[in-house]
């Protein structure tokens, strides 16, 4: 079997689109002024970054004024959590989150807990979802802040964020609802209105834009304390000169991805369905985690119980195939998401995350399945 180079780790980071690269190169070559400068170069740079902001806002049905650029999803999550906690601490000291959040949410909340905040960690059901009932049961009048991700980065399970918002509204509470929508942007159809969240985190490098830039949507009338001080940038809410080329690349990627969202999503669904059908045929012992209609087609979490995921990953890597064990930020540590789902140890230890992009093909999926089957015939359990 001929060795190939195949990338199935787009939930960690995507290939940057040619259009985004060209837009960034043009900015670096021609429009290199500081967006805060008052001369013609600065004014032109400001026009460019505001156009990018508008493209990103359009991708989530927001007004441009509600979009604030950050250095990425991690900063946006930290800002949402620490900013909301600081601005609303006098209303209460209770936070709701889940046990399956990205570490960019769990670690800041852990820091708040060490400072006296009470935290309720919601557990997923067997499918990996944080149910509306679980959220409703944890919601209290002194729940100042809640953070539940839209799409889980390891399983692809979609959480009912809009239902959480309705629960808060039904109770008449002032709970600030934040969602990490990084794995949902331009992949799962949503708008700020449909989600009903007050704060929404998004990122560029999951949608074929560059790394090093993300954004935080802040709803009208929502008050959070600035996280980075040092100037009047981003309307005084986030100090530091904006990363203009990266922001332009983000805006270009968002504009193009949302234009083709439905077609790309349908294509990705065919890839995932083909993967699952082929694995069921070739490797019957394979386990599919979080695989239902409430799962993103872009992520497939599978397990080969009895095998070690590190060994399988190394084997695949040797054959030119890139997959992951879970979140790239965990760097090989055991998945807290799969543990929270109360899966058997051998299922967790044999798990792999296969994540797709517009650049993958059916032929690549077939190569992956053939190689995995060969691995099970070669590697000792």
Catalytic residues: 329
CA distance 290 to 166: 25
Give the residues across from 118 on adjacent strands. 94
Residue with tokens 């997959």: 323
- C-alpha distance across the termini of the chain, in Å: 23
Full strand arrangement of the beta sheet holding 299-303: 287-289, 299-303, 351-355
CA distance 218 to 241: 20
Please give the radius of gyration of the chain, using alpha carbons only, rounded to the nearest integer: 21
Question: Among candidates 38, 55, 48, 25, which has minimal Cα distance to 202?
Answer: 55
Structure tokens at 288: 């599919």
Alpha helices (H) in the chain, listed in sequence order: 18-30, 40-59, 73-88, 103-114, 132-138, 161-171, 192-195, 233-236, 244-259, 261-282, 309-318, 336-340, 345-349, 362-378
- Give the count of alpha carbons within 13 A of 109, CB side only: 26
Question: Among candidates 250, 202, 245, which has minimal Cα distance to 16?
Answer: 250
Whether 104 contacts 328, CB under 8 Å? no
- Give the count of alpha carbons within 13 A of 312, CB side only: 27
CA distance 184 to 207: 10
Encode 128-152: b = buried (16+ Cβ within 10 Å), e = exposed: bbbbbebbeebbeeebbbbbbbbbb
Question: Among candidates 303, 351, 290, 327, which has minimal Cα distance to 158?
Answer: 290
* Furthest-apart CA atoms within the chain: distance in Å: 67
Directed axis angle between helix 261-282 and helix 244-259, to 10°? 80
């Amino acid at each position: 079997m001929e060795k190939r180079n195949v990338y199935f780790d787009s939930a960690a980071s995507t290939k940057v689109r040619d259009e985004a690269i060209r837009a960034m190169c043009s900015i670096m070559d021609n429009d290199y002024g500081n967006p805060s400068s008052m001369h013609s170069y600065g004014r032109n740079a400001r026009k460019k970054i505001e156009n990018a902001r508008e493209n990103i806002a359009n991708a989530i049905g927001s007004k441009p004024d509600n979009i604030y650029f950050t250095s990425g999803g991690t900063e946006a999550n930290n800002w949402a959590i620490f900013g909301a906690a600081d601005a609303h601490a006098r209303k209460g000291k209770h936070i709701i989150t889940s046990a399956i959040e990205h570490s960019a949410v769990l670690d800041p909340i852990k820091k708040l807990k060490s400072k006296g905040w009470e935290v309720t960690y919601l557990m997923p059901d067997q499918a990996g979802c944080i149910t509306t009932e679980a959220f409703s049961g944890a919601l209290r009048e002194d729940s100042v802040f809640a953070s539940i991700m839209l799409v889980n980065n390891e399983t692809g399970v979609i959480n009912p964020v809009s239902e959480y918002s309705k629960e808060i509204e039904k109770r008449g509470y002032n709970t600030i609802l934040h969602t990490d929508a990084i794995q949902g942007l331009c992949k799962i159809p949503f708008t700020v209105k449909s989600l009903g969240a007050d704060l929404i985190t998004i990122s560029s490098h999951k949608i074929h834009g560059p790394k090093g830039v993300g954004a935080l949507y802040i709803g009208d009338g929502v008050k959070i304390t600035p996280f980075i001080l040092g100037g009047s940038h981003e309307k005084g809410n986030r100090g530091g000169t904006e990363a203009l080329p990266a922001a332009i690349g983000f805006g270009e990627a968002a504009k193009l991805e949302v234009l083709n969202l439905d077609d790309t999503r349908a294509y990705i669904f065919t890839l995932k369905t083909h993967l699952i059908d082929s694995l069921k045929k070739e490797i019957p012992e394979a386990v599919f985690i979080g695989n239902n209609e409430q799962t993103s087609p872009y992520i497939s979490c599978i397990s080969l119980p009895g095998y070690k995921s590190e060994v399988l990953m190394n084997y695949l890597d040797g054959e030119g195939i890139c997959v992951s064990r879970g979140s790239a930020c965990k760097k090989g540590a055991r998945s807290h998401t799969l543990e929270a789902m109360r899966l058997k140890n051998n299922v967790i230890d044999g798990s792999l995350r296969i994540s797709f992009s517009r650049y993958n093909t059916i032929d690549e999926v077939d190569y992956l399945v053939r190689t995995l089957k060969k691995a099970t015939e070669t590697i000792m359990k």
